[in-house]
Amino acid sequence: MRDIRGLAASLVKGTTAPHSVPLRSHPNPSEAQQSIVAGFPGKVRTLHVAPALPAALSGLRTIAQNWRHTWNATARGLFRRLDPALWKSVRQDPMLFLARVEQETLRSAESDPGFLGLLHAAMEDARRDQVAPAIALPESERDLLVAYFCAEFAVAEYFQIYSGGLGVLAGDHLRSASDLRLPFVAVGLFYREGYNTQRLGSDGWQHEVYPAIDPYSQALESVRTPEGIPLMIRVDLPEGPCAARIWKATIGRTQLYLLDTVVRENPQEHRQLTARLYGGDEHTRIRQEILLGIGGVRALRALGIRPSVWHMNEGHSAFLVLERARVAMEEQGLGFEAALELVRASTVFTTHTPVPAGNDAFGPEMMLRYFPTPESRCGLALEDLLALGRRAQDAAKEGALFEMTILALQGAGGRNGVSRLHGQVSRRMFRDVWDGTPEEEVPIGSVTNGVHYETWIGEEMAALFSRYLARDWTQRQDDPALWAKVDDIPDEELWRARERMRERLISAARERLRLQVTRQGGRPRELAAIDEMLSPDALTIGFARRMAPYKRAGLLLRDVKRIAALVGDAKRPVQILYAGKAHPRNDAGKEDLRAVFQATQREELKGRVVFLEDYDLELGRLLTQGCDLWLNTPRRPQEASGTSGMKSVLNGGIHMSILDGWWDEAYQPGLGWAIDSPPELAVVDPEDVDRTESDNLYDLLEGEVLPAFWQRSTASSLPSEWIRRVKASLKAHGPRFGTHRMVREYLEAFYRPAHRRGRALGADGARGASELAAYRARLRGAFERVAILAVEEPDTRKTREVGHVVLVRAQVELGGLSEEDVAVELYLGPVDGGLEIQGGRSLPMQRETSLDVESGPLWFAAEIPLEKSGRIGYAVRVRPVHPLAHGSADLRWVRWATV
């Protein structure tokens, strides 16, 4: 980090103070600002003077410069204790806090034994975290290192290089990787203007503001060469090379490297490349993705970091596949096919959305512009490059788009969706990438998202968990036996914790509404009315997420009379808090937002249904901690996972949702509520679906939710039924939906296997990768000649009984391949009305030499065990196999019997 620490103190004391604090907004404080003040007779020159941090308090800077403070309550408590009002006003930003705290406050703390003791304890805790041994792995995997690429990271609310769920998940992934001591680095982009700050007009239309982010005021270190100059990497763009410097953020034990094109040698067009997250046009998008994928690989190499596993979190970074292949070709002398095998073996890809708009695609002309020569394409012809980003049937189709998600799927050996249902949807969505592969065998798994508990659970609930579950509950968060102790929490204490979090939410909501109405030009009586808005005692329903049409923010407001009756019930008060941003270029999402905002202005809803501006991490914590009921109404199955509901239930809220995303696997009767949907094939009109689901939503609120919340025990005045549901929800969901569990799943299902595959294929000069590439080349020539010539089967008109077996034989021409090169199989399972096999499985067919003719086709046979009654179907197929392949589906060829 640029050293400006001594200047401010020297201005105050006339000496150099080694512990003075970097200035937040003025990276070069020696440049005095100048202005002419109206009415003042001369020119006024101003200097910004920062407080001098006493040596005894120097540990505060150490804590501030590691983003671990964002989830460490002890660290945050130090700053809050120094000056609670300032800590709140700077949005818990310790760097800004240290730049603004009063010198007298620091002097007092310097002589306060209690404070110094807490600081020492916090420093010792941080030291222990840094020196603790890495996660235990077998000897052969001790060199495992994961590089995690993502377009956005939610590290802190005041460092807004994130937009929504993808970045929030990435930030939580980093935190859990640090807590679990997983060898892990991350790569992203540093957006100088970040994502937008949302401002609503008086009519509810969203406007975007982009405050500049000064890297020198953040806990960032400028990565430099031994000579002290910023370390640079370069990527090729049509106008010429684009340089980027590297900033390092320390996230606990994890390092996050951010690329920044605001450097002197770049032309203005290139400097703007990292201005905004998801800003600009498709040219901006492909340039950012080249910088992230290609530039990110080059950055790690420049830093001397050699990952063994590469994780692409969404398709934005997929160009890293090409760059890693280029490096392997250049350094190891491999051909492209062998290099791609090596890259694929050690790469993991997570897809996050089934919505087409979330999957970037570029036309052939765009790809030619940015990859104009064979050298820029790993020696490939343009059509071969395009085929890497196209579905199988579109590989040679003129004008077909190049999809970043398809490149990622074809360039990774491990692939997953982010919930069980999303894994199923992704297999259906991308099955044509593996042409001829049944949906159940499409090689896309799932790891359900989670949330980082220490980041999202409110201090009141965390205190209860420490008291009644275990002091080390965060380290044992996956243990169901631990969460069973929720029953030991007294109902009175649990309810009081819930009330305090709701009170904090309502207080913060009123503050935000005052600022919001003031910005919109509200009159004094409108501002005064805010004090009467909302109630700290009412049943509080929260809906906060990205404003996109499929999220259906307005589903709850379809019937104004019914919702007005709910929120207007004085005996059983209900209130609804909305929040969410639309993508700056998504006018449909902005229209949905405006419709919700305008509904909140209706007289019968005003003051009881509100829209809170500028949804971010801070507001997300307040809402998920303070709302009693968390509502989610996506159009199934377009919600990949969703994590806000997880945060709510872990804070003692109750979840109500369409059975989509994570809730499809988490819902159980008695834990929350599922909004019934029409059968998938029963209706095709979305309007009919919306009407049915909104009616079901109202019925649940009126018939079950309100009675459960407002029915109070005569003895204790507590909502006993509601508290019972809260405890049941915590016991069921507590062990299942943390990012510690999620990261462990990635480690076991993806990272360790990718590490082993990469090492196996890369050993002995990448001999395994070359062997696999040669086998694939041989298949390309020979598999076209593979044929299933005949299938001998039983009389299908005859009914068989359970317990019998059926013999099936097939005659196969291998086209020059050996028996070891292929697997001949029966694929069988129950069939639907359209003779589609559902949930099928493979049954190997064995060579039957007694029927073979010398030098002729070979016979194979298998017996089908009839284990269940009903109608079953089967088909004969031939697939290639190789011991080094990740799976038969990844070899892409399959021949099905058509005779």
Please give the C-alpha separations between residue 192 and each of 23, 25, 230, in angstroms, as whole numbers: 17, 13, 17
What is the arithmetic mean of pLDDT over 587-593?
A: 96
pLDDT of residue 23: 30
Tens digit of each residue's pLDDT (9 = 90 or more) over 835-849? 788 889 999 999 988
Instruction: State the Cα–Cα distance between residues 578 and 600, nearest whole angstrom.
Output: 9
* Residue 208 binned pLDDT confidence (cut-offs 50, 70, 90): very high
Instruction: State the Cα–Cα distance between residues 310 and 320, nearest whole angstrom.
Output: 9
pLDDT of residue 796: 66
pLDDT of residue 834: 67
545 CB burial (10 A radius; 0-12, 13-18, 19+): buried
Share of the chain above pLDDT 70, in %: 94
Q: What is the mean pLDDT of the chain?
A: 92
Peptide bond into 18 cis (omega under 30): no
The owner of tokens 């990635």 is 746
Instruction: State the Cα–Cα distance between residues 444 and 441, nearest whole angstrom.
Output: 8
Tens digit of each residue's pLDDT (9 = 90 or more) over 129-142? 999 999 999 999 99
Which residues is 822 bridged to in the sheet? 880
* Residue 566 binned pLDDT confidence (cut-offs 50, 70, 90): very high
Of 124-128, 401-405, 864-868, the range with the lowest mean pLDDT is 864-868
Asked if 769 and 762 count as a contact pair (C-beta separation under 8 A), the reply is yes
Q: DSSP secondary structure string, 604-620?
A: TTBTTEEEESS--HHHH
pLDDT of residue 4: 31
Q: How many CB atoms lie within 10 A of CB 175?
A: 26
pLDDT of residue 678: 78
Instruction: State the Cα–Cα distance between residues 831 and 69, nearest whole angstrom.
Output: 56
Tens digit of each residue's pLDDT (9 = 90 or more) over 346-379? 999 999 988 877 789 999 999 999 999 999 999 9
What is the arithmetic mean of pLDDT over 655-682?
A: 90
Choice between 829 and 16, residue whose per-residue pLDDT is larger: 829
Q: Is the pTM of this model over 0.85?
A: yes
Q: How far apart are the first and last CA of the chain?
A: 70
Can you read off the two tokens belonging to residue 431? 């099955």
Query: What count of Cα atoms within 13 Å lies in the side-chain half-sphere of residue 535?
Result: 14
Q: DSSP secondary structure string, 208-234?
A: EE-----GGGSS-EE-B-TTSSBPEEE
pLDDT of residue 14: 33
Instruction: State the Cα–Cα distance between residues 516 and 777, nearest whole angstrom.
Output: 63
Q: Edge-to-edge, what's the strand order for the sheet holding 858-865? A: 787-792, 805-813, 858-865, 846-847
Which residues is 417 bridged to in the sheet? 446
pLDDT at 26 over 50: no
Please give the C-alpha separations between residue 350 and each of 72, 164, 321, 894, in angstroms, as whole numbers: 28, 16, 14, 26
What is the arithmetic mean of pLDDT over 666-695?
A: 86
Of 112-121, 800-809, 832-841, the range with the lowest mean pLDDT is 832-841
pLDDT of residue 677: 85
State the Cα torsion 558-561-564-570 to the nearest 10°.
-150
pLDDT at 22 over 50: no
Maximal C-alpha separation, the chain: 111
Q: How many CB atoms lie within 10 A of CB 440?
A: 15
What is the arithmetic mean of pLDDT over 480-501?
A: 98
The helix/strand/coil state of 639 is: coil
Contacts 24+ apart (CB under 8 A), 509-516: 509/534, 509/577, 509/610, 509/612, 509/622, 510/534, 512/612, 512/613, 512/614, 512/619, 513/610, 513/612, 515/613, 516/200, 516/612, 516/613
Distance of CA 750 to the CA centre of its chain: 16
pLDDT of residue 24: 34
pLDDT of residue 396: 83
The helix/strand/coil state of 156 is: strand
